[in-house]
């Protein structure tokens, strides 16, 4: 990946920018010395690093707005930063830009259980929302693996998922309102505590916009009542393909489990070595299925699931008999990523989504690629929604291995698109998959996305270089300026 | 335009001053839009026309009907998705899904036999199960559209989990055909519930009923329908056996496997000290279908139908405020303001006299923390021309939001040829 060269004309504005920022923020909220910037050099994709020109830590929406007005005036690009846990390089700093970190905005402003929602600032972690309402029996459903650390603002920007998406949806399905500060410092509020809002669905557009449309300063999340109970099944299969067919059979039987996860042989081995969850080492695949709801419903669904799994050829079926056992089943799955550190110096996590029916074909091809690139691959799969996480194992200290892993990763993602899937299911495009966008979308499709970009940020000051391989100048799309609230073509009848 | 065939696929029929174009494939839609741009002649885009009254009227000399761009392209029950053309009748799609024991979880209202899938998406119109399963916009996975620039664009995909680029499916849902003409839709489908039951409580006033609905929605019992019909509205016929005529009725629906429904219904009954009855399976389904189709409210002459979306805790008071305002606006009026509640109180359907200004309805809704939308203008006024309220069918946008709306419209439809004015005067 080639990082953009800082523009000397922008670098020359550093002193003026810092001075202006210090006029609206206290000293501890403006970081600009080399040693203070180290912590912000990279997000969750540590292979790409670059120190920003400065980092600002505003404490309120007003301060974010003031900061954006200053940077807009100086024509300096801005990279929003939540918790820095993103997995697509979406928060990778620009050497000639300012990183706006939301870590100091971490208050829960309102918990309103009668209306099923909470209003929180963007720096609040995903897990803290659920913790804050746990004693009342509520939770916030989307549960990305990084939920202890990742921020809700970042979740909104990336439209984060988790392991319970098939039944409970991703971030965008669990929001009611947003407040964002636009590139020019103006504050935009969309939605609120009602289930819909007037006009176009701007909240839907902003969710998953990867910091390119606005800086999220407040989020109204939907809260759900915690299910009365949850139980998990662990089924063992002789082939990964058979486990994939079992998933299709469960769905065909009319069930929508809370979670369905497949792990292959290498993922099982690595996890077991790390988490000691009692996984069947040496077996080709395991399928984890979780049902939640009232006890009577969970019992009923588990019985039916067992019948389906047996018919699908499961060689062993374990049903959790206690909460402790359920958590143990999951412990292995949740440890899959860190466990890779035990068996490989580095790993590269892919995130394509495929139609479930294409699983056998895609896994077969990944095996071939693994052979031809001579890189081991462990497969972890959100099987319910077709989201594949192949983990490519490499050694970054061996020259050329990172590049090899990147190349192989790109081939896997193209394969996902070839079978009717998409480049990214929950991690985002960021800088990592930016250059592959043209493989999934044609020029007109990408133009339509840029219409949106131009409607929010015509000067392209927000997170430039991410998501789009080539950012066209908005002027190429014709005049979109609104003069005094009037649109062009006043002669056209529009009533 | 003359009544003739333009190109290979566009059938044109002329009725009076308006001609209707019936393209039957995407390229033909593209040709229609390009012609509209070239001629500077806007088109009104319609599916089956069943919701034409909803929103602002479009002034266009041509109608672009998607009725012939119809049919299921691909249905894969195991993938939980269906790909359809926009003119597919909603009823036809629902029948197809039902054969595989699946359904559209957002339970769309039809408002007429002509209702199409494309119109449903364009209006983002969701039914009672929205509280549990989400809205249309939560189920539109991908689409193909012809923009107002006459370009064919694809967005989203054919998988349920997808964050590749901006989520344009959300922008298309509920944009009332003002940004593009949808030519293909990818919808998420889900297994239909094995069975359902509705717990019926009678005699509650609005605040008591909403309090009970909130209690039910806060419970862990996965309720999938929460409605209240006050005394002033007609109860659907299916309720005649369980509630006395004119008695207020509060309805709570449970869906799922039979043993689970049985258990949860018992728990819900335990939430109230009042006597309850219940409706099983088909009886329950027919009552919710009647609510979805707005059977409780017949809109009379000189009345307008509004939908008001508010936080549930504000709904009883909001409805009362509207009722009072309506009464004071129409001294000696012959009609009574009538309302019923869906979405646990989050949605108020109300018939209000035309004497109550639209600005007032919007103000009350906004003060309650929500927004109002005119669903049907007053009939009498329509006959004599137009009801001034249609100009403000949608709640006013604040300055920041309005600017972005205008820019989006200009970007997707720079010549303003697609449904101009359908949502706002300048969109």
Q: How far apart are CA B180 and CA B153, in angstroms?
A: 9
Of chain B residues 173-192, which have a CB less than 8 A from chain A? 173-175, 179, 190-192
Q: How far apart are CA B125 and CA A447, in angstroms?
A: 28
Residues of chain B found within 8 Å of residue A187, distances taken between Cβ atoms? 400
Mean pLDDT of B43-54: 95
Report the candidate in B210, B221, B179, B239 with the shortest Cα–Cα distance to residue B344: B210
Orientation angle between helical segments A336-343 and A265-275, nearest 10 degrees: 90
Can you give the pLDDT at residue B261?
98
State how far residue B123 is from chain A, nearest Cα, in angstroms.
11
Give the residue from chain A lying closest to B122, CA to CA: A200
Could A494 and B416 be called an inter-chain contact, meaning their C-beta atoms sit closer than 8 Å? Answer: yes
Confidence of residue B15 (pLDDT cuts 50, 70, 90): low
SS (H, E, C) B122-138: HHCCCCCCHHHHCCHHH
CA B256 to chain centre: 24
> Which architecture does CATH list for B195-292?
2-Layer Sandwich (3.30)
Mean pLDDT of B395-400: 97
Helix (H) or strand (E) holding B86: none
Q: How far apart are CA A466 and CA A433, in angstroms?
A: 9
Q: How far apart are CA B159 and CA B231, in angstroms?
A: 45
Give Cα separations from A318 to A232, A233, A322 (angstroms). Answer: 8, 6, 12
CATH topology of domain A108-225: 3.30.465
Confidence of residue B323 (pLDDT cuts 50, 70, 90): very high
Say if residues A217 and A181 touch (Cβ distance below 8 Å): yes
Could A445 and B173 be called an inter-chain contact, meaning their C-beta atoms sit closer than 8 Å? Answer: no
Nearest-5° angle of CA B158, CA B162, CA B168?
A: 85
Residues of chain A found within 8 Å of residue B159, distances taken between Cβ atoms? 353-355, 385-386, 420-422, 425
Report the candidate in A331, A321, A424 with the shortest Cα–Cα distance to residue A145: A331
Mean pLDDT of B309-337: 89
Can you give the pLDDT at residue B3?
37
Sorted by where each begins, the domain ranges of chain B are 1-192+397-427, 195-292, 303-396
Of chain A residues 104-143, which have a CB less than 8 A from chain B? 112-116, 137
Q: Residue B4: pLDDT above 60?
A: no
State how far residue A378 is from chain B, nearest Cα, in angstroms.
21
Give the residue from chain B lying closest to A420, CA to CA: B158
Confidence of residue B333 (pLDDT cuts 50, 70, 90): low
CATH topology of domain A344-428: Alpha-Beta Plaits (3.30.70)
Report the candidate in A166, A163, A167, A146 with the shortest Cα–Cα distance to residue A155: A146
What does CATH list as the number for B303-396? 3.30.70
- CB burial class (10 A; 0-12, 13-18, 19+) of residue A361? middle
The CATH number of A8-101 is which of 3.40.50.720, 3.40.50.880, 3.40.50.11540, 3.30.43.10? 3.30.43.10
Can you give the pLDDT at residue B306?
97
Give the residue from chain B lying closest to A425, CA to CA: B162
The CATH number of A229-337 is which of 3.30.200.20, 3.40.50.1100, 3.30.70.2190, 3.30.70.1290? 3.30.70.2190
Can you give the pLDDT at residue A26?
98
Say if residues A328 and A318 touch (Cβ distance below 8 Å): no
- Chain A contact present for B409, CB below 8 A: yes
Q: Diameter of chain A by CA atoms?
A: 74
Give the residue from chain A lying closest to B392, CA to CA: A495
Of chain A residues 392-451, which have a CB less than 8 A from chain B? 420-429, 433, 437, 440-442, 444-449, 451
Query: Do the domains spanning A8-101 and A229-337 agree at the CATH topology level?
Result: no
Is the four-CA dihedral B138, B141, B146, B151 of positive or negative sign?
positive
Give Cα separations from B374 to B126, B306, B325, B352, B410 (angstroms). Answer: 16, 5, 16, 10, 25
Can you give the pLDDT at residue B332?
63
Percent helix, percent strand, percent coil in chain B, to nearest 5: 35, 25, 40
ipTM over 0.90: yes
Report the candidate in B197, B90, B192, B77 with the shortest Cα–Cα distance to residue B136: B90
Tokens read off for B412: 């997707």
Tell me the per-residue pLDDT of B183-195, one tens digit each, with 9 for 90 and over.
999 999 999 999 9
Query: Do the domains spanning B1-192+397-427 and B195-292 agree at the CATH topology level?
Result: no
Can you give the pLDDT at residue A67?
98
Q: What is the block-wise mean pLDDT of chain A (495 residues), using blocks of 10 residues?
A: 84 98 98 96 92 98 98 98 96 97 98 98 98 98 93 98 91 98 98 97 98 98 97 97 94 94 96 94 97 96 98 98 95 89 91 92 95 96 93 94 95 97 97 95 97 96 93 74 47 36
Sorted by where each begins, the domain ranges of chain A are 8-101, 108-225, 229-337, 344-428
Q: How far apart are CA B229 and CA B339, in angstroms?
A: 8
Nearest to A209 among B166, B214, B409 (CB): B166
- Chain B contact present for A228, CB below 8 A: yes
Report the candidate in A443, A441, A472, A437 with the shortest Cα–Cα distance to residue A458: A472
- Chain B contact present for A193, CB below 8 A: yes
Mean predicted lDDT score pLDDT of chain B:
93
Instruction: Report the top-level CATH class of B1-192+397-427.
Output: alpha beta
Q: Residue B315: pLDDT above 50?
A: yes
Can you give the pLDDT at residue A238?
97
């Amino acid at each position: 990946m080639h990082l953009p060269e800082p523009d000397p004309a922008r670098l020359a504005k550093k002193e003026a920018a810092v001075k202006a920022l210090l006029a609206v923020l206290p000293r501890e909220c403006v970081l600009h010395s080399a040693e203070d910037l180290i912590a912000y050099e990279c997000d969750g994709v540590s292979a790409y690093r670059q120190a920003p020109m400065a980092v600002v830590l505003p404490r309120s929406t007003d301060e974010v707005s003031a900061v954006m007005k200053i940077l807009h005036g100086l024509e300096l690009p801005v990279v929003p930063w939540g918790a820095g846990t993103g997995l697509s390089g979406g928060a990778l700093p620009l050497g000639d830009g300012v990183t706006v970190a939301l870590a100091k905005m971490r208050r829960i402003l309102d918990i309103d259980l009668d209306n099923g929602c909470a209003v929180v600032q963007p720096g609040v972690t995903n897990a803290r929302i659920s913790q804050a309402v746990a004693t009342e029996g509520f939770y916030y459903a989307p549960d990305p693996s990084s939920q202890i650390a990742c921020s809700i603002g970042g979740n909104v920007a990336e439209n984060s998922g988790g392991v319970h998406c098939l039944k409970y949806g991703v971030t965008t399905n669990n929001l009611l309102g947003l407040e964002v500060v636009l590139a020019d410092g103006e504050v935009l509020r969309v939605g609120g505590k009602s289930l819909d809002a007037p006009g176009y669905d701007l909240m839907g557009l902003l969710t998953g916009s990867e910091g390119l449309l606005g800086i999220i300063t407040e989020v109204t999340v939907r809260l759900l009542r915690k299910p009365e109970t949850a139980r998990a099944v662990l089924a063992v299969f002789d082939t990964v393909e058979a486990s994939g067919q079992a998933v299709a059979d469960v769905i065909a039987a009319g069930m929508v489990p809370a979670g369905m996860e497949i792990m292959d042989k290498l993922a099982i081995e690595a996890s077991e070595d790390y988490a000691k969850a009692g996984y069947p080492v040496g077996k080709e695949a395991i399928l984890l299925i979780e049902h939640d709801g009232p006890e009577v419903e969970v019992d009923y669904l588990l019985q039916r699931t067992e019948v389906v799994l047996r018919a699908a050829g499961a060689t062993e079926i374990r049903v959790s008999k206690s909460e402790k056992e359920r958590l143990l089943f999951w412990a292995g799955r949740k440890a899959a990523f860190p466990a890779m550190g035990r068996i490989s110096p580095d790993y590269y996590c892919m995130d394509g989504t495929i139609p479930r029916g294409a699983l056998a074909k895609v896994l077969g091809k990944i095996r071939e690629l693994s052979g031809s690139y001579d890189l081991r691959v462990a497969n972890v799969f959100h099987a319910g929604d077709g989201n594949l996480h192949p983990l490519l194992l490499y050694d970054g200290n061996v020259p050329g291995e990172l590049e090899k892993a990147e190349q192989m990763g790109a081939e896997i993602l193209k394969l996902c698109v070839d079978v009717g899937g998409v480049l990214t299911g929950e991690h985002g495009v960021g800088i990592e998959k930016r250059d592959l966008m043209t493989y999934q979308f044609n020029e007109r499709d990408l133009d339509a996305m840029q219409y949106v970009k131009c409607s929010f940020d015509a000067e392209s000051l927000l997170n430039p270089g991410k998501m789009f391989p080539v950012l066209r100048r908005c002027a190429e799309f014709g005049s979109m300026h609104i003069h005094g609230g009037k649109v062009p073509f006043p002669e056209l009848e529009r009533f | 335009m003359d009544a003739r065939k333009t190109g290979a696929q566009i059938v044109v029929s002329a009725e009076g001053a308006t001609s209707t174009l019936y393209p039957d494939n995407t390229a033909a839609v593209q040709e229609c839009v390009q012609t509209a741009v070239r001629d500077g002649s806007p088109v009104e885009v319609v599916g089956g026309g069943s919701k034409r009254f909803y929103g602002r009227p479009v002034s266009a000399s041509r109608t672009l009907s998607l009725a012939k761009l119809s049919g299921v392209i691909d249905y894969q029950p195991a993938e939980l998705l269906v790909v359809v053309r926009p003119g597919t009748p909603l009823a036809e799609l629902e029948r197809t899904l039902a054969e595989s024991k699946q359904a559209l979880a957002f339970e769309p209202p039809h408002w007429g036999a002509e209702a199409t899938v494309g119109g449903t998406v364009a209006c983002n119109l969701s039914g009672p199960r929205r509280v549990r399963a989400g809205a249309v916009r939560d189920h539109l996975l991908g689409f193909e559209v012809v923009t107002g620039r006459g370009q064919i664009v694809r967005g989203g995909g054919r998988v349920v989990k997808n964050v590749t680029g901006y989520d344009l499916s959300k922008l298309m849902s509920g944009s009332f055909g003002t940004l593009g003409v949808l030519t293909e839709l990818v919808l998420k489908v889900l297994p239909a519930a094995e069975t359902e039951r509705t717990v019926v409580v009678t005699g509650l006033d609005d605040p008591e009923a909403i309090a009970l609905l909130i209690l039910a929605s806060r419970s862990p019992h996965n309720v999938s329908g929460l409605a209240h019909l006050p005394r002033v509205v007609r109860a659907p016929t299916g309720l005649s056996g369980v509630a006395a005529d004119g008695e207020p009725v509060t309805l709570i629906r449970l869906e799922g496997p039979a043993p689970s429904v049985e258990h949860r219904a018992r728990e819900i009954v335990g939430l109230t000290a009042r006597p309850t009855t219940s409706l099983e399976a088909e009886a329950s389904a027919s009552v919710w279908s009647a609510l979805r189709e707005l059977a409780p409210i017949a809109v009379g002459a000189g009345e307008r139908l509004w939908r008001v979306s508010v936080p549930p805790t504000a709904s009883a008071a909001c409805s009362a405020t509207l009722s009072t305002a309506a009464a004071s606006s129409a001294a000696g009026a012959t009609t009574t303001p009538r309302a019923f509640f869906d979405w646990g109180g989050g949605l108020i359907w109300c018939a209000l006299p035309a004497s109550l200004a639209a600005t007032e309805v919007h103000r009350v809704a906004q003060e309650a923390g929500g927004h109002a939308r005119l669903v049907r203008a007053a009939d009498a006024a329509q006959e004599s021309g137009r009801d001034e309220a249609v100009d403000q069918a949608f709640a006013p946008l604040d300055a920041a939001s309005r600017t972005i709306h205008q820019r989006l419209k200009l970007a997707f439809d720079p010549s303003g040829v697609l449904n101009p004015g359908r949502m706002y005067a300048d969109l």
